[in-house]
Amino acid sequence: MQPAPPAPAAFHAPGPLRGTVRVPGDKSISHRALMLSALAVGTSRIEGLLDGEDVLATAAAMRAMGAECVREGDGRWMVHGVGVGGLLQPAAALDMGNSGTSTRLLMGVVASHPITATFTGDASLSGRPMGRVIEPLARMGADITASPGGRLPLMVRGLCPAVPIEYRLPVASAQVKSAVLLAGLNTPGLTRVIEPVATRDHSERMLRGFGAELTVEEDGTATRIITIRGEAELRPQEIAVPGDPSSAAFPAVAACLVPGSDVLVEHVGLNPTRAGLFAALQAMGADLSFENAREIGGEPVADIRVRGSALSGFANDPRDVASMVDEYPILFVAAALARGRSVFTGLEELRVKESDRIAVMAQGLAAIGARVEETADGLIVEGTGGDRLAGGATVAARLDHRIAMSFAVAGLVSHAPVIIDDMAPVATSFPGFEALMTTLGAERRQLAPA
């Protein structure tokens, strides 16, 4: 997968943001829908699948291992699965692009199949450690050869039958949990994952929907015990993917920050393990409400209305990090415009995302006039009380889609242009981001030639 050439850009808001929009399908659910459809026996159909580069990397990998994955003319996807245990040896390396989710979950799938797969990725993904996934999958019998530091490129030689394990997550991670559960699908007996803090539960919901025998127990604390019975036979499904709350975060925060705005974001997934950003905005005083609440395919969905708001400082609860881990960059932008101090702690996980999101956001926000202090596990942000940021700087996105979109929103509430050095990575999760923001009234600034 060839990297796109750098695409610098800057955005501003000549007036309030107004309108009704939909964001792309949920990325986490889209990945899982493709994988489980490929492991079912028969044909599944998926509506609303995210067409971003990360999800397309998953579709390409499933094709390479024998499943038929076709995007039809109306935008729906048809997947003809090969069944659990039926994946074929890929003829070439699986190029995961920038997708950590694809890589970690597919490592779990391959780990209990009698095949060998090599995983490669772009420069950003190749710098991200995979040790958290390697350790439990190796305990199940997979032979994994990684580059130094447990990084890509790496090779997974699956074992069939694999060894069922009971695995306690050392840190909360939905991706590690899901990798072990997916490996457990083709492993005889019971595979069990114990998580100390509840993480996003899309895998559990969807595995049950496809017919896997899976139970979830709670011990009276935050601990959850997820057990799956292996040698499963998955049934094909009709899946409707809700809008991605991580993508909805950007127009929602933009509407909060630009005075006079009134924006409705339709059809957003509000799984309680993913909706922490919206609760945080409400705690900061955002004029944010949920309309037309319903359930689609076992996932709660609603429309989110957001109006221009005077925000106050916020101190996060580290126990809630898992419910909004991908939304902290844009929440840092909101904090920079709030009244008073915001203190963010317990965010060590952000240092091993597509970039070190704590350091990159601290550097970028400081460059455009925000008052920030980086700590070992978070940020301290002194807000402007609603006054615009100075702007007037070029910030480095570091190949990170969420960093790029966060500073695009910051540019809407800055005096001088905030130039993002490369908006190309946004295509991994939100290929229509610029068009959506333009629909609401934002404009792309004209940049002087380099």
- Rounded Cα distance, 132 and 169, in Å: 9
Share of the chain above pLDDT 90, in %: 90
- Rounded Cα distance, 361 and 281, in Å: 19
pTM: 0.88
How many structural domains compose the chain?
A: 2
Which of 339, 333, 358, 313 has its CA nearest to residue 413? 333
- Rounded Cα distance, 205 and 371, in Å: 41
The neighbour count for residue 239, using CB atoms within 10 Å, is 28
Tokens (6 digits) for 29: 């659910």
Q: Which has more pLDDT, 428 or 254?
A: 254
- Rounded Cα distance, 69 and 381, in Å: 45
Question: Where does the pLDDT of residue 220 fall: very low under 50, low under 70, confident under 90, or very high at 90 and above?
Answer: confident
Residues 264 and 383 placed together within one structural domain of the fold: yes
pLDDT of residue 3 exceeding 70, the answer is no
pLDDT at position 352: 84
Question: Where does the pLDDT of residue 208 fall: very low under 50, low under 70, confident under 90, or very high at 90 and above?
Answer: very high
In a domain, 411, yes or no: yes
Residue where a domain terminates, one of 192, 219, 240: 240
Domain that includes residue 61, residue range: 27-240
Binding residue positions for phosphoenolpyruvate: 27, 100, 128, 175, 357, 402
pLDDT at position 358: 97
The single residue of 122, 326, 400, 422 carrying the catalytic annotation is: 326
Distances (CA, A) of 51 to 242, 257, 324, 325, 416: 13, 29, 22, 22, 33
Q: Starting from the edge strand earliest in sequence, which strands make up the sheet with 18-22, in order?
A: 18-22, 262-269, 299-307, 287-296
Residues 389 and 281 placed together within one structural domain of the fold: yes
Mean pLDDT of the chain: 95
In a domain, 425, yes or no: yes
Pick the range with the lowest mean pLDDT from 347-361, 364-378, 381-395.
347-361
Binding residue positions: 27-28, 32, 100, 128, 173, 175, 326, 353, 357, 402
In a domain, 97, yes or no: yes
In a domain, 85, yes or no: yes
Residues 220 and 310 placed together within one structural domain of the fold: no
In a domain, 117, yes or no: yes
Residues 45 and 145 placed together within one structural domain of the fold: yes
Residues 214 and 350 placed together within one structural domain of the fold: no
What average pLDDT does the segment 145-150 reach?
Answer: 96
The amino acid that residue 257 corresponds to is L
Residue where a domain terminates, one of 213, 240, 267: 240
Residues 235 and 282 placed together within one structural domain of the fold: no
Binding residue positions for 3-phosphoshikimate: 27-28, 32, 173, 175, 326, 353
In a domain, 79, yes or no: yes
In a domain, 6, yes or no: no
pLDDT at position 219: 76
Residues 121 and 202 placed together within one structural domain of the fold: yes
Residues 247 and 187 placed together within one structural domain of the fold: no
Residues 20 and 43 placed together within one structural domain of the fold: no
Q: Which residues contact 381 (CB under 8 A, 6 or more apart)?
A: 313, 332, 335, 336, 338, 341, 342, 343, 344, 365, 370, 371, 372, 373
What average pLDDT does the segment 245-263 reach?
Answer: 98
Residues 325 and 207 placed together within one structural domain of the fold: no
- The answer to whether the beta carbons of residues 133 and 178 sit under 8 Å apart is no
Question: Where does the pLDDT of residue 1 fall: very low under 50, low under 70, confident under 90, or very high at 90 and above?
Answer: very low
For the chain, give the longest Cα–Cα distance.
63
Q: Is 326 a catalytic residue?
A: yes
Q: What is the pLDDT of residues 100-133, one digit of tens each?
A: 999 999 999 999 999 999 999 999 899 999 999 9
pLDDT of residue 396 exceeding 90, the answer is yes
Residues 314 and 409 placed together within one structural domain of the fold: yes
Which of 153, 109, 110 has its CA nearest to residue 130? 153
- Tally the residues of the chain: 450
Tokens (6 digits) for 80: 């003809």
Residues 39 and 145 placed together within one structural domain of the fold: yes
What average pLDDT does the segment 426-436 reach?
Answer: 94
In a domain, 450, yes or no: no
Residue where a domain terminates, one of 240, 270, 288: 240
pLDDT of residue 74 exceeding 90, the answer is no
What average pLDDT does the segment 6-22 reach?
Answer: 96
- Rounded Cα distance, 361 and 353, in Å: 12
CATH number at residue 257: 3.65.10.10
